[in-house]
Amino acid sequence: MQNLLTGVMSKRTNTGGTMGLIPLLYVFETAGGATESESVVVDRAIRVVDAHVVLKGAGTTSDTFQILNGSDAISDTVSVASAGDKDIVRVGELDDAYHEIDAAGTLKVTATDGGSSDVPAMVIYILAYAIA
């Protein structure tokens, strides 16, 4: 029960394991308008397993978002150019070379404006679990 409340399991669950993992959900919000990055220093080692955004306005030409481990890309650069207000846009790729972030490492999201200072505001949800 002790590890249940902190989100840290006593051991990693591998294929064939019987113990599940507790998900950690990181939520970032961007204001929209210009290119913006938000970040958090994680308090434990984590593995990012999924990410998506909910748009708070319509995307325009070349508007994108990306998930990073410090300055290294975890996700592909995801276009939101053809997405509308309230749409959910999911990452298409997670780089297994960078999806594990050490304790005291930086989990970062960047919303990039393709021009005209009109990138929509976004709520970015990043799903991870503790690995140490």
| Whole-number pLDDT of residue 10 | 46
What DSSP letter does each residue of 93-124 carry, written as one string?
A: -B-TTTSEE-TT-EEEEEEE--STT-BPPEEE
The pLDDT of residue 114 is 87
Task: Please list the ranges in the chain whose pLDDT falls under 50.
Answer: 1, 10
Q: Kindly report the backbone phi and psi dihedral angles of residue 22, in degrees, each rounded to the nearest multiple of 5, phi listed first.
A: -95, 125
Domains belonging to the chain, first-starting first, are 24-130 (2.60.120.260)
Tell me what pLDDT residue 1 has.
Answer: 47
The 10s digit of each residue's pLDDT in 34-68 is: 999 999 999 999 999 999 999 999 998 899 999 99
pTM of the model: 0.87
